[in-house]
Amino acid sequence: MMSSKSSTAETQSSERKPLGICVMGLPLRSSDTSLRDGLFHEYKKHGKVTSVQVLGQGEERYSVVSFRKPEDAAKALEASQDKMFFGKKIKVMAHEGVEVEDNEFRPPEAECDEYHPKATRTLFVGNLEKEITTQELRDRFKSFGEIIDIDIKRQGAVSAYAFVQYADITSVVKSLRKMEGEHIGANKIKLGFGKSMPTNCVWLDNLSESVTEKLLCQQFGRYGEVSHAVIDRCKGRALIYFTSMDTAQYAVNEMRSRILKKKRIQ
């Protein structure tokens, strides 16, 4: 015999509205990671996205996008009819979604921090009005940190995008968290980490006061020949110069987020 408690739970479960959507017909050439990132940014405008799962392989691959509230899932479903994603028409259906507790899941935006694998000191700002000026961008983004340079790229007669280089990664993270989805002029901007150009110089931040140039040369020398290192004691930063770009890039990939003298380096 079923207890009244389990009977009630079953009734509530059957009455629960869908918390997610199932996206099918995904482009074959896109990786799981790019699909997750793309779907998150595409659907977060409809509400709080709690998870994006990409399942299956090849033509059978599909994604489940889950929301915090069922009404947000309903809005996303309605907005997805005849929708194009990455140049391909997708098919979207309601899905029960994945119900996740706050303490069990960090939503995608919470992963946007100084230790993100793609984190750089450069902020990408997309979907800008064609007439946007350097001063306008500086005025909008200077409150998040020291701006080193702003590079605007015009895209024909349609729109523009820009790269805003800050003095540190923390400023980029602040910008991403505060300005994502905001408008500059009539356009809703798109933000992300800008790609850094490969050089033979590795930039470090959040250094411990006890770190020395000698220690840095020893630690990073494991990845290739280091010519010298320079530390800015006032700001807790350092520059490490390798003899080649390849070894410098290897060191960046290996040392990102490592603990050095009890502090997690950036």
170-208 confidence digits (pLDDT tens): 899 899 888 887 899 888 888 888 877 677 888 888 888
Q: Which amino acid is at 67?
A: F
Q: Looking at the structure, do residues 8 and 79 belong to the same domain, yes or no?
A: yes
Contact 260, 207 (CB under 8 A): yes
| Per-residue pLDDT at 114 exceeds 80 | no
CA atoms within 13 A on the CB side of 216: 28
Contact 39, 118 (CB under 8 A): no
**What's the pLDDT at 105?**
33
Instruction: Name the band, by pLDDT with cuts 50, 70 and 90, for residue 93.
Output: very high
Burial class (CB in 10 A: 0-12, 13-18, 19+), 89: exposed
Q: Tally Cβ neighbours within 10 Å of residue 61.
A: 18
When pLDDT is averaged across residues 38-48 and rounded to a whole number, the result is 87
DSSP conformation letters of 77-110: HHHTTT-EETTEE-EEEEE------GGG---GGG
Residue 35 lies in a domain: yes
Residue scoring higher pLDDT (152 or 258)? 152
Q: Looking at the structure, do residues 189 and 205 belong to the same domain, yes or no?
A: no
Q: Looking at the structure, do residues 122 and 164 belong to the same domain, yes or no?
A: yes
pLDDT above 70: percentage of residues in the chain? 83
Q: What token pair was written down for 204?
A: 């470090």
| Per-residue pLDDT at 14 exceeds 90 | no
Residue 113 lies in a domain: no
| Per-residue pLDDT at 209 exceeds 70 | yes
CA atoms within 13 A on the CB side of 57: 0
pLDDT above 90: percentage of residues in the chain? 20
Q: Is the pTM of this model over 0.85?
A: no
**What's the pLDDT at 74?**
92
User: What CATH number is associated with residue 251?
Assistant: 3.30.70.330
Residue scoring higher pLDDT (227 or 97)? 227
Report the chain's C-alpha Rg in angstroms. Answer: 23
Instruction: Name the band, by pLDDT with cuts 50, 70 and 90, for residue 112.
Output: low
Instruction: Name the band, by pLDDT with cuts 50, 70 and 90, for residue 226.
Output: very high
* Structure letter (DSSP) for residue 150: E
Residue 234 lies in a domain: yes
| Per-residue pLDDT at 92 exceeds 90 | yes
Q: Characterize 101-115 residue by residue with b for buried, 16 or more Cβ atoms within 10 angstroms of its Cβ, and e for exposed.
A: eeeeeebbeeebbbe
Nearest C-alpha neighbor of 132 from the set 166, 159, 165, 163: 159
Question: Over the chain, what is the mean pLDDT?
Answer: 81
**What's the pLDDT at 143?**
94
What are the Cα distances from residue 17, in Å, to 12, 14, 97, 98?
Answer: 10, 8, 10, 12
Instruction: Give how many domains the chain has, as a whole number.
Output: 3
From 1-10, 190-199, 236-245, the region with the lowest mean pLDDT:
1-10
**What's the pLDDT at 140?**
94
From 8-12, 21-25, 259-263, the region with the lowest mean pLDDT:
8-12
Q: Looking at the structure, do residues 146 and 208 belong to the same domain, yes or no?
A: no
**What's the pLDDT at 132?**
92
d(CA 251, CA 218): 12
Instruction: Name the band, by pLDDT with cuts 50, 70 and 90, for residue 245.
Output: confident
Show the domain range for 134: 118-193
Contact 90, 83 (CB under 8 A): yes
Domain boundary, last residue among 108, 136, 159: 108
When pLDDT is averaged across residues 108-131 and rounded to a whole number, the result is 75
d(CA 79, CA 90): 12
Q: Looking at the structure, do residues 31 and 57 belong to the same domain, yes or no?
A: yes
| Per-residue pLDDT at 27 exceeds 60 | yes
**What's the pLDDT at 237?**
84
Domain boundary, last residue among 82, 108, 134: 108
